[in-house]
């Protein structure tokens, strides 16, 4: 079963991250790179992507003639997706364990950031015979 | 060696030969992990060379020879890596496989390989991947496609499975007689999981996944041929045949699920049903009855009803009663509840479901809600049915199933007065 592990943050969170020291930033990036490699080595990796920052995010709706109407004004409390991993695991518990590892990514001063990771199942196409 | 029209298709031939060749290579070199890689490489080489140059006279010997060469290379590079005297490598250089390399006992080898790949020390996902490659002869790319993961991930999963086998010191030999029954159950479970994984829409983007059901049936047929007296092996094969016979009608052209009661029975594969029934019937005089045989018998009762109204529900209920005595799987109890509803009415079945609610294994499972919704609908409680169809839709891990459950809810709620709908 596949799960998506999502890192979300408010604009404030992104702003804080932008102020990290070079050393903290490098440690975090190194962790993320190593983490993806571990997932590959463990045979659970499906995909990972990082997203552009909220400053460039737009909400798009279709106008009456179908052309896009864009809006970049969001409430302060809105959480934005920063990046995600998709893993293929044998149980939800295994996905939670992997999410906890991501959550422990180093923050300022190298301490675990304990950032929240949202875990959601990716729907498959087969249905269990239920035997 | 030019390709002749009479040449058998290469892919199935390679798949059939894989366990034989692997058996020979493992026996010679006693390194399962490396031998398995070597055979996969030999197989990939054959897949490019044979269509071009034609089939070799003895495909098994050809594959064995190429795999032996790969093993020699592997051992050489290993010893070089270890900065050792290359005595072993030199010795290997002398190795030439007999041209007519025939497996010592390919039947036993295939069984041994299955026991290894489906060892309880492996997680189901690794056992499935390794079985498909080492015994099924599929390429890593094919397995990765079937499970919709990157090829490198599947390669890593297979390689870790082999490390596990190495680490736990599982020998390349048949398990003892005492162990054997239990280990065979593990093999059947893995084959069942492969079948189930492929049991889905036969339309559109999912076409490839249907191959998994085919592979599971092919491998189960092999086990059945090797263990003709095991009634549960026959039971699993019959179950697969009888279930797969309805494949064409399980979904419509758009991939939407169609429940058993609404399938077009004229499109069921009668020949496959006859095969399944024959395999199952052959086990009856042998006495022992197990869960796969009972599941197959239930599938046969459904398959043999010309119209849904003619389904022999008392017979199905009797089979579920037997099955329930053998298994504490809550899914069995859940499926049995449907049979109870058809024989004794939905109220009786709903009482059974209330008792199941406390089972932790079912507590958050969508099927408990889905069955309850179905029973409530039968009982005429459409408001309750809509609620539970929607609850089930929120819990399932399958997209076609979620769409089906939401469609059931929508169908019923469109008939409800608005006030009830708001509940």
Cβ separation B295–A131 shorter than 8 A: yes
Residues of B in contact with A126 (CB under 8 A): 196-200, 206, 209, 398
Cβ separation A126–B197 shorter than 8 A: yes
Residues of A in contact with B154 (CB under 8 A): 43
Q: Is the ipTM of this complex over 0.85?
A: yes
For residue B400, give how far its alpha carbon lies from the nearest alpha carbon of chain A (Å): 6
For residue B331, give how far its alpha carbon lies from the nearest alpha carbon of chain A (Å): 6
| Global confidence as pTM | 0.87
Q: Chain B interface residues facing chain A, Cβ-Cβ under 8 Å?
A: 123-126, 147-150, 152-154, 156-160, 192, 196-201, 205-206, 209, 243, 255, 257, 295, 329, 331-332, 334-335, 367, 396-402
Q: What is the mean pLDDT of each run of 10 residues along chain B (423 residues)?
A: 60 92 92 94 95 93 96 88 59 47 64 92 93 94 90 95 90 86 93 85 48 92 93 97 92 84 94 97 88 96 95 97 91 94 96 89 88 96 96 91 93 80 48
Q: What is the mean pLDDT of each run of 10 residues along chain A (131 residues)?
A: 95 92 95 96 95 93 94 90 96 96 94 95 75 51
Residue A119 touches partner B, C-beta closer than 8 Å: no
Task: Name the closest residue on chain B to residue A48, using Cα atoms.
Answer: B150
What's residue A128's pLDDT? Answer: 62
For residue B91, give how far its alpha carbon lies from the nearest alpha carbon of chain A (Å): 34
Residue A45 touches partner B, C-beta closer than 8 Å: yes
Residues of B in contact with A40 (CB under 8 A): 152-153, 156
3-state helix/strand/coil string of chain B: CCCCCCCCCHHHHHHHHHHHHHHHHHHHHCCHHHHHHHHHHHHHHHHHHHHHHCCCCCHHHHHHHHHHHHHHHHHHHHHHHCCCCCHHHHHHHCCCCCCCCCCCCHHHHHHHHHHHHCCCCCCHHHHHHHHHHHHCCCCHHHHHHHHCCCHHHHHHHHHHHHHHHHHCCCCCCCCCHHHHHHHHHHHHHHHHHHHHHHCCCCCHHHHHHHHHHHHHHHHHHHHHHHCCCCHHHHHHHHHHHHHHCCHHHHECCCCCECCHHHCCHHHCCHHHHHHHHHHHHHHHHHCCCCHHHHHHHHHHHHHHCCCHHHCCHHHHHHHHHHHHHHCCCHHHHHHHHHHHHHHHCHHHHHHHHHHHCCCCCCCCCHHHHHHHHHHHHHCCCHHHHHHHHHHHHHHCCEHHHHHHHHHHHHHHHCCCCHHHHCC
Residue A93 touches partner B, C-beta closer than 8 Å: no
Residue A52 touches partner B, C-beta closer than 8 Å: no
Which of B156, B188, B360 is the mutation pick for testing A, counting most A CBs within 10 A? B156
What's residue B417's pLDDT? Answer: 80
Residue B141 CA: distances (Å) to CA of A23, A38, B80, B155: 40, 21, 30, 8
Q: Which two tokens stand for residue A106?
A: 């180093």
**Among the partner residues B153, B197, B335, nearest to A44 by beta-carbon distance:** B153
What's residue B250's pLDDT? Answer: 87
Cβ separation B150–A45 shorter than 8 A: yes
Size of interface A-B (CB pairs under 8 A): 82
**Among the partner residues B154, B209, B243, nearest to A126 by beta-carbon distance:** B209
Residues of A in contact with B367 (CB under 8 A): 130
């Amino acid at each position: 079963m596949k799960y998506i592990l999502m890192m979300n943050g408010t604009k404030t969170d992104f702003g804080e991250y932008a102020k990290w020291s070079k050393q903290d930033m490098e440690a975090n990036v190194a962790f993320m790179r190593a983490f993806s490699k571990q997932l590959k080595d463990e045979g659970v990796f499906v995909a990972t992507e990082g997203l552009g920052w909220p400053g460039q995010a737009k909400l798009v709706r279709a106008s009456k003639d179908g052309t896009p109407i864009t809006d970049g004004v969001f409430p302060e409390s809105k959480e934005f997706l920063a990046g995600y991993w998709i893993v293929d695991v044998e149980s939800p518990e295994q996905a939670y364990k992997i999410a906890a590892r991501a959550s422990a990514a180093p923050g300022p001063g190298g301490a675990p950031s304990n950032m929240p990771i949202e875990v959601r199942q990716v729907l498959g196409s087969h249905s269990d015979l239920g035997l | 060696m030019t390709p002749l029209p009479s040449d058998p298709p290469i892919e199935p031939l390679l798949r059939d030969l894989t366990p034989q060749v692997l058996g020979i290579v493992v026996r010679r070199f006693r390194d399962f992990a490396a031998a398995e890689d070597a055979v996969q490489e030999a197989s990939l080489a054959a897949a490019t060379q044979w269509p071009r140059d034609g089939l070799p006279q003895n495909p098994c010997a050809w594959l064995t020879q190429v795999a032996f060469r790969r093993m020699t290379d592997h051992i050489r590079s290993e010893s070089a890596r270890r900065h050792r005297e290359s005595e072993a490598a030199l010795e290997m250089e002398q190795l030439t496989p007999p041209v007519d390399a025939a497996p010592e006992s390919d039947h036993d080898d295939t069984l041994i390989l299955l026991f290894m790949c489906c060892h309880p020390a492996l997680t189901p996902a690794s056992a499935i991947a390794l079985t498909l490659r080492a015994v099924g002869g599929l390429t890593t790319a094919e397995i990765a496609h079937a499970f919709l993961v990157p090829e490198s991930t599947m390669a890593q999963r297979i390689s870790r499975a082999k490390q596990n086998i190495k680490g736990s010191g599982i020998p390349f030999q048949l398990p003892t007689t005492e162990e054997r029954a239990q280990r065979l159950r593990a093999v059947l479970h893995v084959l069942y999981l492969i079948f189930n994984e492929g049991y889905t829409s036969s339309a559109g983007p999912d076409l490839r996944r249907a191959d998994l059901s085919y592979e599971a049936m092919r491998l189960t047929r092999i086990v059945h041929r090797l263990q003709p007296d095991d009634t549960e092996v026959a039971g699993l094969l019959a179950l697969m045949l009888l279930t797969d016979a309805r494949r064409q009608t399980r979904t419509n052209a758009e991939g939407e699920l169609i429940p058993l009661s609404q399938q077009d029975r004229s499109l069921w594969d009668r020949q496959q049903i006859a095969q399944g029934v024959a395999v199952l019937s052959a086990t009856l005089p042998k006495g022992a009855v197990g869960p796969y045989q009972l599941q197959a018998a239930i599938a046969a009762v459904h398959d043999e009803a010309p119209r849904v109204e003619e389904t022999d529900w008392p017979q199905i209920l009797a089979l579920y009663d037997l099955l329930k005595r053998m298994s504490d799987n809550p899914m069995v109890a859940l499926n049995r509840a449907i049979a109870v509803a058809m024989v004794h009415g939905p109220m009786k079945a709903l009482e059974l479901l209330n008792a199941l609610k406390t089972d932790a294994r079912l507590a958050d499972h969508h099927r408990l809600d889905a069955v309850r919704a179905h029973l409530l609908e039968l009982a005429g409680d459409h408001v309750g049915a809509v609620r539970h169809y929607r609850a089930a839709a929120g819990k399932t891990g399958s997209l076609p199933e979620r769409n089906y459950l939401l469609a059931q809810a929508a169908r019923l709620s469109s008939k409800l007065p608005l006030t009830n709908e708001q509940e």
